[in-house]
Structure 1
Amino acid sequence: MKKRNRIKVILIITIGMILLALPIAMQVKGEVSNKVLDKYVAIGDEISMEADNDYDVAYVSLIKDFLYALNDNLDYSNLSNDGITSSDLLNIIEENKEKIKDSDLITVSIGGNNILNAILANLNIDETILQGCDEEKFDSIISEYLNSDEIKSEILNEVNKFSKDFPKIIKKIKKLAPEAEIYVNTVYNPINKKCNIYNFFDEQISLINDLIVKNNSNYEYKILDCYHILNSDEVLNFKVENGVVRIYPNKVGHAMMAAQVISDYEDYVNLEVDKITSSSENITGKTLPNSNIIIVSENGTIGTTQAKANGEFQVKISPMVSGTNIEVLVYDKKIFSILYKFEKLVVKKDLFTS
């Protein structure tokens, strides 16, 4: 993909409609493409399962909504399951060949449970003592159990399984959908960096990630580098439910993951803005149907609106001085978490004014 420098802003809207800005690098491409993606399949573990609550979004939901905005006839399937390992995923692919066949885009999230299940299943710990604990207490409890030979042996067994399963996963997918763009997530470290057990988990996770990176040269897929995207405690949530520890990306983390995929298809997004002069009373244009539009200048936000079902939008403005720099930003229609496209404009002098 062609790379050019650019700052991308991620805005998360909360129930109170409070916007939070998060800058990340994004790539800009050239002319708008008329191509659309007809079929998207998400496969993998709980990271790619869709959330029930729009404010606890999954990255695959954001990708799906983006593709729906481009093509309302999108064929979408989510074949993800909670707690599965690479061996389980092989079975899921085998059982869902028709759903995967001829896909244009496939995202794969797998490998984390190969490590986590091997560790948690061999701790020999009373799960009730974990109930309600915070990360500090969790760290102190778990650290006493991690150095057993049994756990280390089981981890190596799971890494060996993954090394055999993963190439088969990619081969099966490519056979079913030879034209598909495939994105494979690296495994992130769910442990807070301040915890004593962080380094132990990091060493085990790197064994899986090394295999994902190594196989890329043979099977030509794209890597969604969750290990680095989620390498911050600010994008992860920690909680214990019924003795089960869940450490997963929050909505900011999922938005950052989705942005890495969506940015590859940015030139599929059409954004047309009519000429703006010093006497203009509105900013009008056309873009993705039902998407959110934010218009800003160096002095702050000028206005916001939602595009109509046909993509047309209009924002009422006060007359502006010629030479004013304006940016028109197009966001997803739900929570302003994904920036689809932006365009810079300059207010022109009106020829019919003195």
Structure 2
Amino acid sequence: MSGDRPSPLVIERILRDRQGIWQQIVAERDLNALTGRMLVSSAVALACYGAVLGAFHSALMALTSAVKLPLLFLVTLVICLPTLYLFNLVFGARLSVRQSVALVMVAITVTSMLAVAFAPISLFFLITAPDYGFFKLLNVAILTLSAVVGLRFLTGGMQVLNEHGLLAPATAGQAANAATPAAQAVPAQAAPTSVEAAQPAPAVAEPVPAGAAVSGTAVAANGSTPAADGSAPATTQPAPAQPAPVAQPALVGQPALVPAGYPAGMLPPGYPQRPWGTPPARRGEPGQRPASMTLLYIWILLFGFVGTQLAWTLRPFFGDPGQGFALFRSIDGNFYAEILRTIGNL
């Protein structure tokens, strides 16, 4: 399924064509429409699941939980998204605001759709085993599992963006290629290299026949000139000149070449001793974890802490059957202490 033919259900496209979703986010193509569809789908799914939670107490509690559960995820996103975006900028990532929102909305959409898929199971235990403590722990486990799967989609999307270099700053070579595209049109033979300039022109002697006269001087068969007194000619053969080793100029972003006259495994002092054939490490390559990926895992923990504390602030979602209806409860204790207390009372 291609990214240009959207599915009627956005969750179906996310699950079936996740690579198309990531490529659309990388290209920043039609993100407003995609984010809007994910927002509507998540709100509807969370409202349905919230109604199941509140149905344990009363119909009025079901209505208020259907409103508060989507509000919980939306407010948590608004609180935590600026932190993710600004810290990515600090560490050199080149994500836009729309890309960041779309990535987090993919995670929230998967979480909400998985939660509503568990709604029939939650409703079954509501009817057959109406125990307040068990029902509360069951639905907390369902939401936790759904959130873990949704955040896995978020980390997968960030890894795809890392492979496209959006989580690392632009390198000097990329900036130079983008700034001077006309420099690639320069002919390769514009100027001789330093090796060519350092090589002296070899003196090639033309073969001269024996007995021939060159400027009035007889030339012997071996190419030497006889002495004036008729003695044996002195043969003079100049030794071949050995040019000094000259290093070829290194290209931008590539290692220096081996100087002429040195074996491949030996380098003179002052040259980089890195083994040949091993390319230099660059930021943003697949296999490396940039600082933005490490920050993402920290942000996920922050997102979880903010979400659970906000859920405790917006309670009740289930509604204790021993108490009357209330839109909000007084803020005392915390979410984790309540979960431990509920486990101890089972």
* Larger relative contact order (CA 8 Å, sep ≥ 6): 2
Q: What range is the shorter-chain TM-score in?
A: under 0.3
Give the structure with the higher percent helix.
2
Give the structure with the higher percent strand.
1
TM normalised by structure 1 equals: 0.19
TM normalised by structure 2 equals: 0.19
